[in-house]
C-alpha cells in the first residue's frame, strides 16, 4: 500500500508478517490505518492501537453473545408455547389413566363383594306357638369351602323384633365374619303369636330349648337385651353349659335370683349397657357381676338401647368377644 505524503511504509515489528497476513497494519506519521475483516479503522493515537483493537473485538463478542441470548430466549418462548398447547392433552391422558385405574379398582371390589355376599332369609318353626326367625346366609362361589362357624342367637327387647337385628346390619356383619347368625321373634312379638306356654319361667326356658333344637343349634352365644331377660336369665342359670357365651344387654329380671345362683354359672359373659342407662343398665349389673366369668363394657353416651345408639361400638365389642370364644 503506498504511503501518504511521501512517508515510506514499513513493517511494524510488533505485528510481524502484517503485509502477508489477513490483517495489515501500516504506520503513518500521524495516524494508523488498520484493515480488519474488510473494514478500515483509523486510529489517531498510534500508541494505543492495540487497546482500541481489543475494544472492537470485545464489542463484536458482546454483540454475538446478545444475539445468542436473544435466540435462546425466542427458543424458550416457543417451547413454552408448545407445552402450553400440549398441556390439556397431557392432563386429559393422566385423568383418563387415573379414571381407568379407579374403575379397575371398583370392578375388583365389586367382584370381591360378589364372591362374598350375604342375604337374610326368614323362616318359621312349626308348632305351638309357631316361631318366625331370620338368618343370615353367606353366599359363596362354587367350590369355596364353608367355614366352621360359631352360632349366635339374638333375642330382642319389648319394642323390637328380629327385624331390628337385620336393619341394624348385625346379621349381615356376623355372617360376613363367618358366624351363623339367627334372630327370632319372641311369642307375642313380630310374626310369632302369643302363647300361654311362655307365661311361666319353666315355659320360657323350654321355649328356648325348643328353638335351639328345631334350628339345629348347639352351644350358641345368646344375645339378650332388655325384656328378653325373662327368657335368657333363667335359661343361663339352668342350662348355662349349653351356651358358648352369654351377652346380656341391660336385661330385666336379674334381681329375682340370688348371688349363689349366678356364681354357679361358668358361661363366659359379656355385660353391655349404655352410660346413660341409669335404670336397668345399672340395676342388672349388680346381679350379673356375680357371674364368675364376666367382663363389662359401657358404651359411652348411650342410653338403654345402646346397640341402636352406638351400633359401630356395639359391633366392635361383640366381634371381639366372639373372637375370644373361638
Among candidate residues 192, 224, 226, 228, the one labeled active-site is 226
> What does the alpha-carbon distance between residue 324 and residue 326 come to, in Å, rounded to a whole number?
6
Among candidate residues 162, 277, 284, 294, the one labeled active-site is 277
Residues 6 or more apart whose Cβ sits within 8 Å of residue 78 = none
Rounded to the nearest 10°, the torsion over CA 248, 250, 214, 152 is: -40
Residue pair 267/235 in contact (Cβ under 8 Å)? The answer is no
167 is catalytic: no
Residues 6 or more apart whose Cβ sits within 8 Å of residue 246 = 221, 222, 224, 232, 236, 240, 267, 268, 269, 270, 291
294 is catalytic: no
Q: Give, as one character, the DSSP assignment of residue 305.
A: T
Report which of 238, 244, 237 is spatially closest to residue 151, judged by C-alpha positions. Answer: 244
238-266 burial, b for 16+ CB within 10 Å, e for fewer? Answer: eebebbbbbbbbbbbbbeeeeeebbeebe
Report which of 218, 288, 209 is spatially closest to residue 252, judged by C-alpha positions. Answer: 288
> What does the alpha-carbon distance between residue 227 and residue 303 come to, in Å, rounded to a whole number?
15
304 is catalytic: yes
Q: Any idea how long the chain is? A: 326
C-alpha cell at 139: 353366599
Catalytic residues: 226, 277, 304
Amino acid at each position: 500500500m503506498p504511503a501518504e505524503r511521501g512517508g515510506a511504509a514499513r513493517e511494524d515489528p510488533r505485528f510481524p508478517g502484517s503485509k502477508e497476513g489477513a490483517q495489515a497494519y501500516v504506520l503513518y506519521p500521524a495516524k494508523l490505518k488498520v484493515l480488519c475483516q474488510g473494514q478500515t479503522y483509523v486510529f489517531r493515537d498510534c500508541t494505543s492501537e492495540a487497546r482500541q483493537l481489543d475494544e472492537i473485538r470485545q464489542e463484536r463478542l458482546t454483540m454475538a453473545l446478545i444475539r445468542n441470548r436473544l435466540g435462546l430466549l425466542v427458543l424458550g418462548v416457543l417451547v413454552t408455547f408448545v407445552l402450553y398447547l400440549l398441556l390439556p392433552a397431557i392432563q386429559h391422558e393422566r385423568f383418563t389413566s387415573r379414571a381407568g385405574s379407579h374403575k379397575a379398582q371398583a370392578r375388583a371390589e365389586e367382584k370381591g363383594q360378589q364372591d362374598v355376599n350375604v342375604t337374610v332369609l326368614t323362616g318359621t318353626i312349626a308348632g305351638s306357638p309357631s316361631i318366625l326367625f331370620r338368618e343370615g346366609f353367606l353366599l359363596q362361589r362354587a367350590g369355596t369351602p364353608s367355614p366352621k362357624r360359631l352360632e349366635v342367637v339374638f333375642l330382642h327387647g319389648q319394642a323390637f323384633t328380629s327385624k331390628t337385628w337385620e336393619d341394624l346390619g348385625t346379621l349381615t356383619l356376623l355372617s360376613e365374619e363367618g358366624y351363623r347368625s339367627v334372630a327370632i321373634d319372641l311369642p307375642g312379638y313380630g310374626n310369632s303369636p302369643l302363647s300361654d306356654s311362655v307365661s311361666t319361667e319353666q315355659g320360657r326356658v323350654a321355649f328356648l330349648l325348643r328353638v335351639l333344637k328345631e334350628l339345629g343349634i348347639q352351644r350358641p352365644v345368646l344375645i339378650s337385651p332388655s325384656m328378653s331377660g325373662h327368657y335368657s336369665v333363667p335359661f343361663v342359670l339352668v342350662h348355662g353349659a349349653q351356651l358358648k357365651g352369654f351377652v346380656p344387654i341391660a336385661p330385666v329380671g336379674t334381681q329375682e335370683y340370688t348371688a349363689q345362683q349366678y356364681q354357679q354359672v361358668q358361661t363366659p359373659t359379656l355385660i353391655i349397657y349404655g352410660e346413660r342407662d341409669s335404670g336397668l343398665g345399672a340395676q342388672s349389673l349388680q346381679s350379673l357381676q356375680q357371674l364368675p366369668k364376666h367382663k363389662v363394657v359401657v358404651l359411652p353416651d348411650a342410653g338403654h338401647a345402646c346397640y341402636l345408639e352406638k351400633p359401630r361400638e356395639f359391633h366392635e365389642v361383640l366381634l371381639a368377644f366372639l373372637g375370644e370364644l373361638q
